[in-house]
Structures are given as structure tokens and as C-alpha cells.
Amino acid sequence: MENIFVFLFNSIIVSTIICAAARLSNSVSLKIQRSFCFYCDHNLAWFDIIPVISACVLRNKCRYCHAHFGHYYAIFELSYILIGTLLWATPVTWITGVLLLFLSLEDCSKQSIHANILFPWIGYLLILHHDAAHLCLTVLILILSIILVKHRHTLGSGDIPVLLSLVLSNTPVIFSCTLLISCCLALLYLLYSQQKRLPFVPFLSGGWVITNLYILFLL
């Protein structure tokens, strides 16, 4: 019964995050209570916004204007619901995952994020993990990040709070693995797409998810 509750709760959280990120990316106020289609502005009924199920039943289309909102929407939604359910037992990891999901969606959409939402979380993590190893690594990553942002222009300023959150919410070894996997994924994407710029937060999220799932299942 508890597992069902956790799954349903994560379904609501993931669906809400996707909705909030979509609204902010399209400059739509979060104060608007009713969900609506971004293509035809039609208000959506409750049975149009059931996580995963509605997307599958409607075949990823709006019920009213039939605009298509992506082949992989349901798969993406279900994947993060399952990830959230698996990581539920570790609150710090779960909250970090929720924040990463929201910021990743923002970064994918417009390559800018509301990084300020991470500052209270970073403050809490500093209180929770203020041992020498975490503090030294935090200072090192902060210095390197500032250099990359201000002098090399190879990193966005919004990436700094994300990196600090990852440093403080994981052990140094897990963070190192996360960063290594993230950079490898980003390099593969650059080689494949032949683009010069990319949103880095989704790759950090991907590296973080891979590392944590590996630890969860194989260690």
C-alpha cells in the first residue's frame, strides 16, 4: 500500500513539475489554476491530465485541437515517476532529483534556469554536510566554475548552483562519477549534433540519475 501511495505521489509531483516548467518557458503565469492546451488555449478536464494514462489514451495529442505534443511524453513522464519512486527512501536524493528535473526542463526549453530556487537547498545541505571533504570540494568546484563562467565562457552562471547542489548532496566519489558521466554524455551529444552550445543541466541530471541508479541496483 505504501508503494502505491509513493508512486501516486511521485506521479503528481512529476506532472506538476512538467506543467510548471512548460508555463515558465512559455511566459505563462503560474497563478492560472486551470491546465490548458498551449496550442488552442482550451481548458483541460481532469481526465485530460492524469499522469501517463491520459497521454497514452490520447496518443500524445490534445483532445480538442489534436495538436501533437511529442511521441515520448508518456515514456519520459513514466520514467521520472519510477525514478522518483525508487529514490524515495533517501529524502536528500529525492529532493535533489525533483529540483534537477524542473531545471533540466527549463534548460532544454530556453537554455536558462531559475537557479535561485537552489540557494535555500544549498544552505540546508551546507548545514547537513559541512565536513572537510565536502567543504574543500565545494570551494574547488566553485572556483573552477567561476573561472569557466567569467574567463572561459564555457559554462553558464546558472550551472554553478546546480554543481554545488550535486557536490553537497552526494559523496565526493558519487559527484565525481556524476560529473564524468555528464561530460561524456555532453561530448557525445556535441559530436552527434555538431552544435557549439548545449544546455548542460540535463546532462548533469542524466549523469546523476545513472550514477544513483547504478548504486541502488548494483552496489
Do 84 and 115 fall into the same domain? Answer: no
Sequence-ordered list of residues with C-beta below 8 angstroms from that of 202, at least 6 positions apart, any chain:
104, 107, 108
Please tell me the predicted confidence (pLDDT) of residue 190: 87
Segment 123-154, tens digit of pLDDT:
999 999 888 889 999 999 999 999 988 877 77
Please tell me the predicted confidence (pLDDT) of residue 45: 80
Do 140 and 208 fall into the same domain? Answer: yes
Query: From CA 100, how far away is CA 173, in angstroms rounded?
Result: 19
Do 10 and 61 fall into the same domain? Answer: yes
Q: Which domain range does residue 187 map to?
A: 111-218
Domain assignment of residue 98, yes or no: no
Domain assignment of residue 166, yes or no: yes
Domain assignment of residue 93, yes or no: no
Do 122 and 202 fall into the same domain? Answer: yes
Domain assignment of residue 172, yes or no: yes
Query: From CA 21, how far away is CA 199, in angstroms rounded?
Result: 15
121 compared with 55, residue with greater pLDDT: 121
Number of domains in the chain: 2
Domain assignment of residue 97, yes or no: no
Domain assignment of residue 102, yes or no: no
Domain assignment of residue 78, yes or no: yes
Do 83 and 115 fall into the same domain? Answer: no
Do 116 and 205 fall into the same domain? Answer: yes
Sequence-ordered list of residues with C-beta below 8 angstroms from that of 69, at least 6 positions apart, any chain:
60, 61, 62
Segment 37-73, tens digit of pLDDT:
877 878 888 778 888 888 888 888 888 888 877 667 7
Please tell me the predicted confidence (pLDDT) of residue 219: 65
Do 82 and 115 fall into the same domain? Answer: no
Domain assignment of residue 103, yes or no: no
Do 53 and 119 fall into the same domain? Answer: no
Please tell me the predicted confidence (pLDDT) of residue 70: 67
Do 145 and 187 fall into the same domain? Answer: yes
Do 157 and 208 fall into the same domain? Answer: yes
pLDDT at 156 over 70: yes
| CA nearest neighbour of 111 among 205, 202, 210, 218 | 202
CA 179 from chain centre, in angstroms, equals: 15
3-class DSSP assignment, residue 121: helix
